[in-house]
Amino acid sequence: MRAISLSLLAALILLTTPVWAEQTAPLTLYASTYPLSEFSQRIGGEKVNVKPILPPGADAHDYEPTARQMLEITRADIFVYNGAGFELWIHKLLKALEGDHQLTIVNTTEGMDLLAADDDHHHHDHSHGFFSSAWGKVRSLFGHHHHHHHDHGPDDPHVWLDPTLALQQAQKIHDTLIQLQPEHAPFFSLNFQHLKDELLELDRQYTESLRDLTNRHFVVPHKAFSYLAERYDLEQIAIAGVHPGSEPSQREVMAIIDFLRANDIGYVFFETTVSNRVAQTIATETGAQTLVLNPIENLRREDLAAGQTYFSLMRKNLENLLIALK
């Protein structure tokens, strides 16, 4: 009887003891932008609890995490951020984390060859020393105020709109997950390979679709598409700088209007989470049609409810570019 009791006790201990070698708790990961949230979820699967910092529909440039979010980030396993000056609040968080070795921090643009925020290669000043009849309407739109300036730093942060650079960001996430949970390396690597294949296929679609177009200029509300333009040899005409709140001067708006008229450009792109006020004025004055070109910094509730993803929105962007440029 004593032998049976000891055997029963041993069995109960085995049943109630966590099997740490076979099952580890999911990692908690905070991501600063929508693309990084999606890439993290695709690679991590059920092994990672991904928490987006941005609420649906929030302007990614202006949003600052709440004190509660800041505290929750410090208690997480991983914090993934875009870097290159995109998160204006990042220095505040990094300062608060000095000496904290529990949180793994991943700057996904570290080591990349970045474009300068003020690089005019795809952000031309098309002023030719003349003004059109739209000048009065532009003056009334802006009043007598100077345009606002938001300092995002010297680099352009919008790397994810080039699928090959998005792949580099995903690679950093993959490597970090394996570093923290090497026992799940095959799982993470398989998921990453699927994501990699899809990003490379997206790049191929853009390359083949845009290669032979003669019209290569496109007009956007803010300078979010420099990496896309660089990758596929397009010419971005940005109404505002890398921060959508940095409104252009009256002279800059008039130069864009005159350039569109002189070059018979028939489309002006809108965005989804920023003001399109100036873009609408330019479209109205030139008779241009409007389409959406989504910078995919963040998604709205209706986008999420409709099952939109980075890939579906990138393909829609390509579709709209082809309409505008043909």
Question: Each residue of 283-320: pLDDT tens digit?
Answer: 999 999 999 999 999 999 999 999 999 999 999 999 99
DSSP 138: H
CATH of domain 27-111+158-199: 3.40.50.1980
Which has the higher per-residue pLDDT, 99 or 159? 159
Q: What's the rounded Cα separation, in Å, for the pair 313 and 192?
A: 20
**The domain over range 120-148+212-295 is classified in CATH as 3.20.20.80:** no
Q: What's the rounded Cα separation, in Å, for the pair 142 and 249?
A: 8
Q: What's the rounded Cα separation, in Å, for the pair 176 and 166?
A: 16
pLDDT at res. 12: 44
How confident is the model over 18-54, as pLDDT tens digits? 444 456 899 999 999 999 999 999 999 999 999 999 9
Tokens 């995903």 found at: 170
Task: State the Cα angle at 127 between 121 and 129, rounded to 5°.
Answer: 150
pTM: 0.84
Mean pLDDT of 254-276: 91
Where does CATH 3.40.50.1980 sit in the chain? 27-111+158-199, 120-148+212-295
